[in-house]
Structure formats: structure tokens, C-alpha cells
């Protein structure tokens, strides 16, 4: 059934690439057959479509990478492909414990990191702005931590030591309270992003690259900034932050991923006076904003107006609403075990199932893959097979004509906007017991609460 599209892609590539692509195809078809056997998903159409997506990415479609095209960080840039290849290298289904295949994927990842690394190392200092240097997802930090992780997996110890320098050196800049004029605390560009990047890297390296004392300084500063702002603005939440004069709640610049950052450091949280109390009450504040249909508003107050910004009740994306919030609620359930957090996650999944088939493209930020991750989170929390079926439906939707058009029109290969993120979702879909939204560490940060230790196959 993959025959329809094979010709289009294979016509453009060399014999060697074609052979490599066919090998991929066989592996993915095989894994999809096994999923079909285990989970009784209607995978007949899904198989071919997963293959299409993998082929589209894995074949050398970027013959010449121009420095103008790399778009800096992983958000929409080619560095996102490095994350995808790192994930592929860790996939048992795709590598079948073949060390040469693992190395091939890692080398490919390194290739896509080179142009942004050259830019971030060599571009004249005067042309850099501070947010380029420390920004995580759209900036240099995502490239640097990926570089370290890929080198670690390639066992290049010497190069790894050098690659760690820009990650460690960024610390001092992060200690300046207002190093960015628009807001210095958020996930995409600020302190929460840096701390999350370090935590993710900790699981790659087996140790956090930053000393505990230095980590603690940034975590404490992040906490105090939220307390100060909340007191000044009389916020109903004990912690609140502002980016570009808006109190965002969503993951890009808002409260949810800042709170999640604290939850990723449970030892610090429990050893710091009143930190756990304030963080938990702030999570509960967000929980109180979940609407009856399960969605969340995109921001709290517009400072000075006291207005609550609301979403269009039918707008659901990772960057706005329930598909982004589910990760925070899952982290809260893992840490504290309160049933209300799990209930909130279930509501996120319900509303995403009802309204989440967005036509905004395949990506993570505001596309199908980002919404599809909601069901993989629920599957990991509960082991309930129904959620995997829903994830399968979203994976299938990746291949509708509308999505294909959106993907073509943006021509993006990035992790958050583009196909790299969609491929990560598909890899997680075929290996759902280890699924985790890219760069998040909800399931690795603590042993945690969940209903079933290991999900069971569909009956």
C-alpha cells in the first residue's frame, strides 16, 4: 500500500539512499505489523503513512544546507532533525540493537547540528543578542545540549568536554534578574528553559553538568521572582510571571512549564522552605481554571486590567490549552499522587479527542503531533489501551491532504514546527511504554505515581 508514494520520493534520490530508505521501510512496516498484532489498531493505512513520513525525513532531502536556512534553535530549524535522529538512535524498533545503525543515526544528527553550531560559535559577538545565547527551544541552548547528548552517545569524550562549556558558561548570565527585557523566567527563552535543558541533559549524561549549588541559585531566583511578581500584582496564584506584559499560562513562555521545571527537581523542591507549598498551590490555581469541557485559558491577567484572557473554546494546541497543560498535570500526579491531577489529565484527553484534530500542520507546537502526545501521556499514566487507539487515530490524521499541504507550505523540518516533531511522535507511538514529549522529563524525573507500572497490550 506504500506503492503510491514510493515512486515520487525514490525518483529523486541516489541508489544508495534508495537502499537505505527501503531498509527503513521494511523495519517500520514490520514494527507496525507487530503493533497491529498486539494492539488491534487498524494499522493497514497507518503503516504506509508512517513509512511516508519517515521516508520524507530520512531520505537526504536536504542536499545542500545553507547557513541562511538553519533557523537557529530546534523550534523550526534543522537542529530539530538532530533531536529526531538522536531519538531514532535510541529506538530499538528502528535500530534492532545494530550498533552501526545507531552510529549512522547519531552521525546524521551531528551533521544537522553543524551549521547552527558554527553560527553560535563564530558569529560576531556584536550581532548576537542575549536571547540567542541563552534561549532554549528557539536559540542556542537547544543546539548546545543536543550537541553534548549526541557526542555522549557517540562516546566522543574529548569533544564532549568542549561542547559542555557553552552550557555551563551560560549560568552567570542567567543569574542577572532581568537579562531579557521581555521576561527572563520562561521555558522557551529564560531560566526555566535553561534548568529544564540541564535536567534533560542530566538523564543523557547520568549527571547534571552544573554543580548543585549553582542549580540551586537559579531555581531559588526563579521562585523568588514568581513570588515577588505575584505579591506586587495581587495574583491569586502564589507564583506568577509575566512575559511581554502578558501572564501566559501555556508552555512556551507561561506559568505551566515554569512550575513543571520545579517539579523536575523534586529534591530541591522539598529541601527549600515553602517552595513545595507555593508550587503546589500554583499548580492548583491553574487546575482551578480548567473549564467544564477540559480546556484551559491561554493566559491569566492582562496586567493592570484584571481581565482573564480566554481561549476560543475550540482551540486546542500544545502551545495553548489542554494539550500543553496535560504535561504539568501529569507531572503533578506523578509527584503528589492526588487523584484530581489525574482527573484533569483525563479531561485534557477528552477535549483533545473531541476538538484536537487541528489542521495547522503536523508539528508539536500547534499541530497534530503535539495534540497526539496527550494520549501517549495518558497511556503511560494509566496503561489504558483506549488512549493508544486515540493516539493511532491522530497518527493517521497526520496524513490527510490538509496536513500534507500545511507541511509542504511551511517546508519546515524543525522539532516544534515541522516534520521532525511529527516523526518523534510516531517513534513514541510505536514504542509507547517509553513515550515522552521532546525535551520533557516528566516520566524520568521521579519514580512517580501511575496506575499501572507497565501498560498491557490491547485485549
Residue set of the binding site for Zn(2+): 319, 365-366
List, as residue ranges, the binding site: 319, 365-366
Least separation in angstroms between residue 115's CB and Zn ion is 24
Q: Should residue 84 be labelled a site residue for Zn ion when binding is judged by CB under 5 A? A: no
Among 71, 87, 366, 390, binds Zn ion (CB under 5 A): 366
What is the rounded distance in angstroms from the CA atom of residue 72 to the CA atom of residue 79?
Answer: 8
Q: Does 74 bind Zn ion (CB under 5 A)?
A: no
Query: CA-to-CA distance for 249 and 355, rounded, in angstroms?
Result: 20
**Pick from 111, 35, 40: nearest CA to 70:** 111
Residues 414-453 binding Zn ion (CB under 5 A) are none
Q: Which residue stretch of 77-85, 299-307, 363-371, 394-402 sits at the interface with Zn ion (rule: CB under 5 A)?
A: 363-371
CB closer to Zn ion out of 346 and 366: 366
Among residues 241, 251, 265, which one has the least CA distance to residue 184? Answer: 241
Give CA–CA dist 459/451, Å, rounded: 18
| Alpha-carbon distance values, 310 to 182, 246, 299, 315, 365 (Å) | 22, 13, 7, 10, 19
Distance CA 194, CA 62 (A): 30
Provide, rounded to whole angstroms, the least separation between the CB of residue 365 and Zn ion. 3
State which residue has the least CB distance to Zn ion.
319
Size of site (CB under 5 A) for Zn ion: 3
The cell numbers describing 391, all together, are 493516539
Q: Between residue 301 and residue 360, which ones bind Zn ion under the rule CB under 5 A?
A: 319
DSSP, res 309: P
Q: Would you say 83 or 262 has its CB closer to Zn ion?
A: 83
Nearer to Zn ion, 319 or 328 (CB): 319
Q: β-pairing, 307-308 with 301-302?
A: antiparallel
Residue 365 as a binder of Zn ion (CB under 5 A): the answer is: yes
Shortest spacing between CB 363 and Zn ion, in angstroms: 8
Return the number of the residue (50 or 365) whose C-beta is nearest Zn ion. 365
Of 25 and 317, nearer to Zn ion (C-beta) is 317
Rounded alpha-carbon distances, angstroms, from residue 22 to 28, 96, 431 = 10, 16, 21
Asked if 218 and 212 count as a contact pair (C-beta separation under 8 A), the reply is: no
Nearer CB in complex with Zn ion: 366/380 = 366
Per-residue cell: 210? 552544573
List beta partners, residue 317. 320
Give the count of alpha carbons within 13 A of 457, CB side only.
Answer: 9
> Least distance in Å: CB of 10 to Zn ion?
33
Per CB under 5 A, residues contacting Zn ion are 319, 365-366
Amino acid at each position: 500500500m506504500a506503492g503510491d508514494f514510493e515512486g515520487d520520493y525514490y525518483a529523486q534520490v541516489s541508489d544508495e539512499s534508495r537502499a537505505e530508505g527501503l531498509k527503513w521501510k521494511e523495519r517500520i512496516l514490520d514494527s507496525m505489523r507487530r503493533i497491529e498484532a498486539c494492539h488491534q489498531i487498524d494499522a493497514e493505512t497507518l503503516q504506509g503513512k508512517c513509512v511516508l513520513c519517515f521516508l520524507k525525513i530520512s531520505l537526504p532531502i536536504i542536499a545542500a544546507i545553507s547557513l541562511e536556512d538553519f533557523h537557529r534553535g530546534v523550534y523550526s530549524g534543522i537542529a530539530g532533525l538532530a533531536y529526531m535522529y538522536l531519538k531514532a538512535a535510541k529506538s530499538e524498533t528502528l535500530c534492532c540493537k545494530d550498533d552501526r545503525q545507531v552510529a549512522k543515526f547519531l552521525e546524521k544528527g551531528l551533521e544537522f547540528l553543524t551549521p547552527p553550531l558554527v553560527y553560535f560559535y563564530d558569529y560576531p559577538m556584536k550581532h548576537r543578542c542575549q536571547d540567542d545565547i541563552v534561549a532554549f527551544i528557539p536559540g542556542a541552548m537547544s543546539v548546545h545540549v543536543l550537541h553534548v547528548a549526541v557526542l555522549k552517545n557517540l562516546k566522543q569524550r574529548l569533544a564532549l568536554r568542549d561542547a559542555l562549556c557553552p552550557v555551563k558558561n551560560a549560568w552567570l548570565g542567567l543569574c542577572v534578574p532581568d537579562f531579557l527585557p521581555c521576561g527572563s523566567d520562561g521555558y522557551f527563552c529564560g531560566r526555566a528553559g535553561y534548568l529544564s535543558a540541564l535536567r534533560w541533559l542530566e538523564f543523557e549524561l547520568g549527571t547534571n553538568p552544573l554543580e548543585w549549588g549553582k542549580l540551586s541559585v537559579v531555581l531559588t531566583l526563579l521562585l523568588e521572582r514568581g513570588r515577588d511578581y505575584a505579591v506586587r500584582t495581587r495574583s491569586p496564584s502564589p507564583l506568577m510571571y509575566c512575559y511581554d506584559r502578558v501572564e501566559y499560562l501555556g508552555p512556551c513562555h507561561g506559568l505551566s512549564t515554569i512550575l513543571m521545571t520545579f517539579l523536575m527537581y523534586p529534591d530541591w523542591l522539598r529541601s527549600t522552605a515553602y517552595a513545595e507549598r507555593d508550587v503546589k498551590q500554583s499548580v492548583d490555581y491553574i487546575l482551578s481554571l480548567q473549564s467544564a469541557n477540559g480546556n484551559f485559558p491561554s493566559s491569566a491577567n492582562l496586567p493592570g486590567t484584571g481581565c482573564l484572557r480566554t481561549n476560543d473554546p475550540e482551540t486546542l494546541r500544545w502551545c495553548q490549552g489542554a494539550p500543553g497543560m496535560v504535561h504539568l498535570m501529569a507531572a503533578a500526579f506523578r509527584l503528589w499522587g492526588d487523584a484530581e491531577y489525574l482527573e484533569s489529565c483525563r479531561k485534557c484527553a477528552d477535549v483533545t479527542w473531541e476538538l484536537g484534530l487541528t489542521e495547522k500542520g503536523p508539528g508539536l507546537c500547534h499541530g497534530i503531533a503535539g495534540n497526539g502526545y496527550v494520549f501517549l501521556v495518558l497511556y503511560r499514566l494509566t496503561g489504558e489501551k483506549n488512549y493508544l487507539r486515540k493516539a493511532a487515530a491522530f497518527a493517521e490524521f497526520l496524513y490527510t491532504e490538509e496536513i500534507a499541504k500545511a507541511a509542504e507550505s511551511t517546508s519546515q523540518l524543525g522539532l516544534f514546527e515541522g516534520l521532525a516533531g511529527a516523526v518523534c511522535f510516531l517513534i513514541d507511538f510505536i514504542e509507547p511504554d517509553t513515550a515522552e514529549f521532546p525535551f520533557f522529563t516528566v516520566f524520568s524525573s521521579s519514580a512517580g505515581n501511575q496506575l499501572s507500572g507497565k501498560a498491557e497490550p490491547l485485549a
